[in-house]
Structure 1
Amino acid sequence: MRYPILFSPEDDIIDICWDNVFKAIFTQDIPPSQGALKRLISAFIGRSVDVLAVVANEPPALGRGDRQIRYDIRVRFDQGELANVEMTLNPQGFEALRLEYYAARLYSSQDIQGADKTFGDLTHTYQIAIIGRKRLFGDEPPVHQFRYYDQENKVSLGGRTRIIVVELEKAAGLLGEPVSEMSPAERWTVFFRYVTDPQQRDVINKILTYEEGIAMAGEVLLSISKDEAERARLESEYKYRLDRQSEMVQARRDGLVEGELIGLKKGELIGLKKEEQHLFEERREIARKLLTMGLSPDQIARATGLAPGEIPL
């Protein structure tokens, strides 16, 4: 049965790649939001899951607004498995290292202390990162899955951690494929990348018709987009965060410029001191020659500008 949601050409859709909008869609205590999150995770780990809980890894959310400012969505599902799901619009150059760090922390956050537990009780963990505006890898596939693997000997460690990276900038290569032939992960990738693009609305509507979980996400997204107060709040929050980020970047740049100016001034002072020292030594050399010619110290001082105590007697 088709989920009853489609976008019209007139719909002005807010950008789901803003991480606060992303979390607003997938962390609400309503069936469409919960269903969308469950199917999102299922699509990227490759099997159906049942989400048991959205775990607050920051101070507890007191309301809808608090919940939306979380930097990621931490989920527990099935047999206690854990996943971090996050949208990163503008990743930094160290993004891959950051993902590895948080994947390790997620895995090691499990409690296996106690006489009745072993390392075998550790469960699978997944770090799912959706990258909005940058390519992290030089190839064309938009979805990568990383596990511990000995590439030289082609042996897998068989571990229980996985890092899944989705690069939305590579979604253009999927537009030529029929929606029916896309994988669930590819349909989500195209949806995230082009849901705000009126030129791709037909493709998005086909995906909404084909993929119920994406349609659930689309329903919440459309509701937020049409709610003027909620939309204004999210846009204001995003603008505030963007302004703060820009201020910090500009402050660092200003600090670098100031540092360069200080360095130049220091360099000029050092150069000036060296030049003065060179002139001083030249005057002392002239004074020595004048002494050999029989001039008195007072005469030499007047001729060279040296103080009496600076004349080498």
Structure 2
Amino acid sequence: MAIGIDPTVDYAFKLLLGSPEHPAITLHFLNAILGDEIQITEVEILNPILGKGDDTDKVSILDIAARDSSGRVYDIEMQTSLPAGLAERLAYYTASLYVGQIGEGDAYTRLRPAISICVLDAIMFRESQPIHSDFRLRSREGNLNLTNGLQIHLLELPKYTLPSDHKVIADPVEAWAYFFRQADAMTTDEIQQRFNCPAFTEAAQVLDMTQRPQQHRSQYEQRLKAQRDERARMQYAVDQARLEGEALGRISILRKILGGEPESLDSLSLEQLTVIEKELQNQFRERGI
């Protein structure tokens, strides 16, 4: 039987990668994203899920704050849509992690790298094909590295093409992309065979355990509903913007034909635009144009 728990739901995501009881999963994920440059052997979760009220504060609770044995600090988050200002927010969070490490009078040499990782179930950079983007402070030519102290990693899940075969997925970044997209429709045995990796076997067990106790299942369902509602709100806003744009276009054409003076309509609602369009259409018919 399929697990039925979507790891991109932020509550399940937090249980998966933000549990002190399962550091091997977090270590595997971090090492997959950071690659050969850094190999982490220990990680501490700084904001584990503690109680029933934790699902009410997404920013402070369901994002994952962590620190490795070298003092590097991490913010790991899941985004199921592309919110306005995401790039700026990621830069702000990363900078906050960085400057928050020292106080007045502390030496800058005490600063350790601050690394943000955003798993995004949407496409942010359509002009770029890689599913994993790594942003640093470098020269324009790319041959000079100012510092690795600020890093932002972006994993755009829709860019990953699911393989048609059943071979073990060896590439760790692709493996995580596949897991995030498909784990809810797989059984624990299928996950074990697909990845042949202890970290993913443990991850499957964590997702399966999310259904028990009832507290976890209830909070998961609440967050799933919240994410679906947010997607619906965003889709409604997109649809409204499209309809308003179409109405503005039609009104502009009618005014040109009727010889009316142009005026700004940007502040008007769709309902107000509809009334104006109907009035112009009536004038159009009355003139027999």
How does the TM-score come out when normalised to structure 2? 0.70
Answer yes or no: is the 8 Å Cα contact 1:130–1:165 preserved in 2.
Answer: yes
Match among 96, 105, 121 for residue 87 of structure 2: 96
The aligned residue for residue 161 of structure 1 is: 150
Provide, for residues 147-170 of structure 1, a one-character-per-residue CA deviation record: whole Å limited to 9, x for no partner. 112133632213311111111112
Answer yes or no: is the 8 Å Cα contact 1:135–1:170 preserved in 2.
Answer: no
The aligned residue for residue 63 of structure 2 is: 72
Answer yes or no: is the 8 Å Cα contact 1:24–1:67 preserved in 2.
Answer: no
Provide, for residues 191-228 of structure 1, a one-character-per-residue CA deviation record: whole Å limited to 9, x for no partner. 11111235x9887333442x222222111101114656
Answer yes or no: is the 8 Å Cα contact 2:11–2:219 preserved in 1.
Answer: no
How far apart are residue 23 of structure 1 and its match?
1.0
CA distance in 2, matches of 1:171, 1:245: 21
CA distance in 1, matches of 2:180, 2:234: 28
**SS of residue in 2 equivalent to 1:49:** coil
**1:50 and 2:42 equivalent?**
yes
- 2:229 maps to amino acid: D
**1:120 and 2:109 equivalent?**
yes
Match among 157, 179, 187 for residue 191 of structure 1: 179
Per mean C-alpha deviation after superposition, the further-off stretch among 45-54 and 238-247 is: 238-247
CA distance in 2, matches of 1:154, 1:84: 27
RMSD between superposed Cα atoms in Å: 3.6
How far apart are residue 145 of structure 1 and its match?
1.1
Task: Work out which of the two has the higher radius of gyration on C-alpha atoms and give 1 or 2.
Answer: 1
Answer yes or no: is the 8 Å Cα contact 2:10–2:223 preserved in 1.
Answer: no
The aligned residue for residue 85 of structure 1 is: 76
The 1:67/1:78 distance shift into structure 2, 3 A limit, reads: farther
How does the TM-score come out when normalised to structure 1? 0.65
For residues 232-271 of structure 1, what are the structure 2 equivalents within 5 Å?
A: 232-240=218-226, 242-243=228-229, 246=232, 259-262=269-272
- 1:81 maps to amino acid: R
**SS of residue in 1 equivalent to 2:40:** coil
CA distance in 2, matches of 1:244, 1:170: 22
How far apart are residue 37 of structure 1 and its match?
1.7
For residues 1-313 of structure 1, what are the structure 2 equivalents within 5 Å?
A: 10-30=1-21, 33-46=22-35, 47-55=39-47, 62-63=50-51, 66=54, 69=58, 70-114=61-105, 117-152=106-141, 154-172=143-161, 178-179=167-168, 182-198=170-186, 204-209=191-196, 211-225=197-211, 230-240=216-226, 242-243=228-229, 246=232, 259-262=269-272
How far apart are residue 125 of structure 1 and its match?
1.4
Per mean C-alpha deviation after superposition, the further-off stretch among 233-242 and 73-82 is: 233-242
How far apart are residue 20 of structure 1 and its match?
1.7
Q: Which runs of 5+ in 1 are unaligned?
A: 1-9, 269-313
Provide, for residues 223-282 of structure 1, a one-character-per-residue CA deviation record: whole Å limited to 9, x for no partner. 1146566324411332145436745875895999963555787999xxxxxxxxxxxxxx
Answer yes or no: is the 8 Å Cα contact 1:39–1:49 preserved in 2.
Answer: no
CA distance in 1, matches of 2:172, 2:97: 25
CA distance in 2, matches of 1:214, 1:174: 18
Per mean C-alpha deviation after superposition, the further-off stretch among 80-89 and 254-263 is: 254-263
CA distance in 2, matches of 1:238, 1:153: 41
Percent identity between the two aligned chains: 23
CA distance in 1, matches of 2:23, 2:199: 9
CA distance in 1, matches of 2:17, 2:133: 22
- 1:49 maps to amino acid: T
The 1:218/1:145 distance shift into structure 2, 3 A limit, reads: same
CA distance in 1, matches of 2:44, 2:167: 33
The aligned residue for residue 274 of structure 1 is: none
CA distance in 1, matches of 2:27, 2:114: 15
Answer yes or no: is the 8 Å Cα contact 1:14–1:231 preserved in 2.
Answer: no
- 1:185 maps to amino acid: V
The 1:151/1:258 distance shift into structure 2, 3 A limit, reads: closer
Answer yes or no: is the 8 Å Cα contact 1:112–1:122 preserved in 2.
Answer: no
CA distance in 2, matches of 1:43, 1:154: 24
Answer yes or no: is the 8 Å Cα contact 1:175–1:190 preserved in 2.
Answer: no
